[in-house]
């Protein structure tokens, strides 16, 4: 009978994500995860097979978490334009530190490189655009397209905040998206 696992795969994948968020994908190794988890590198190799499979599993776990966070925000936020802003502010989170914002872009690079992760990103983008469109243009046949534009504006606000670091990320996202809503309402 096999020994019970002292640390779940999910906890290990979360630890791997934490390592990558701090050090970029290049910082993920079985030795680094061993130090973070207390499990022997050989045990980690036995569970995940290769560094590449470990990284992909960790990034799929990140997509699972983002899907769940998005569904929860969609259920909780009002179905109004300001509810769309609140949803995106909630999904923006808060950077863990001054350097982690850029490391997140390196994780995104890995998502672009792998077909299974690109597919997850595309599916999430559609779900997000639908949730936003329902809030900013209910009943409009172009609501999903408008939701996609709002999501694009959000991502732009996050990137520009990364350069300026003026105020908090949440304040910037809220202000930028509220301004975008006012401008598009007049168009």
The pairs formed by 178-184 with CB atoms below 8 angstroms and a separation of 24 or more are 178/82, 178/85, 180/150, 180/153, 181/81, 181/82, 181/84, 181/85, 181/136, 181/150, 184/136, 184/146, 184/149
Identify the CATH homologous superfamily for domain 9-186: Tetracycline Repressor, domain 2 (1.10.357.10)
Q: Of 89, 68, 93, 66, whose CA–CA distance to 77 is shortest?
A: 89
Alpha helices in the chain (DSSP H): 9-23, 30-37, 41-48, 51-76, 81-92, 100-113, 115-136, 143-164, 169-186
Q: In this predicted structure, what is the pLDDT of residue 136?
A: 97
DSSP state of 8: -
pTM over 0.95: no
Please name the residues in contact with 109: beta carbons below 8 A apart, sequence gap of 6 or more: 25
The reported pLDDT for the residue numbered 185 is 84
Q: Hey, where are the domains in the chain?
A: 9-186
- CA–CA distance, 62 with 111 (Å, rounded to integer): 11
Distance CA 128, CA 119 (A): 14
**CA atoms of 15 and 10, how far apart (whole Å):** 9
Task: Please give the pLDDT value at position 187.
Answer: 61
| pLDDT in the model for residue 6 | 84
Which pLDDT tens digits describe the chain residue by residue (187 residues)? 455 568 999 999 999 999 998 888 999 999 999 999 999 999 999 999 999 999 999 999 999 999 999 999 999 999 999 999 999 999 998 765 555 667 778 889 999 999 999 999 999 999 999 999 999 999 999 999 999 999 999 999 999 999 999 999 999 999 999 999 999 987 6
């Amino acid at each position: 009978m096999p020994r019970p696992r002292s640390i779940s795969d999910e906890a290990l994948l979360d630890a791997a994500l934490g390592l990558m968020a701090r050090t970029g994908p290049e910082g993920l190794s079985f030795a680094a995860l061993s130090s973070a988890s207390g499990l022997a590198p050989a045990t980690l190799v036995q569970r995940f097979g290769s560094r590449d499979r470990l990284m992909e599993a960790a990034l799929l776990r990140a997509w699972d978490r983002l899907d769940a966070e998005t569904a929860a925000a969609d259920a909780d936020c009002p179905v109004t334009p300001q509810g769309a802003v609140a949803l995106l502010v909630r999904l923006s989170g808060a950077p863990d530190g001054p350097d982690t914002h850029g490391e997140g872009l390196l994780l995104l690079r890995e998502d672009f490189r792998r077909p299974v992760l690109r597919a997850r990103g595309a599916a999430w983008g559609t779900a997000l655009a639908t949730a936003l469109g329902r809030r900013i243009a209910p009943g409009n046949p172009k609501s999903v397209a408008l939701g996609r534009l709002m999501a694009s504006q959000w991502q732009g606000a996050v990137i520009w905040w990364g350069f300026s670091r003026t105020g908090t990320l949440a304040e910037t996202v809220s202000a930028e998206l509220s301004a975008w809503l006012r401008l598009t309402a007049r168009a």
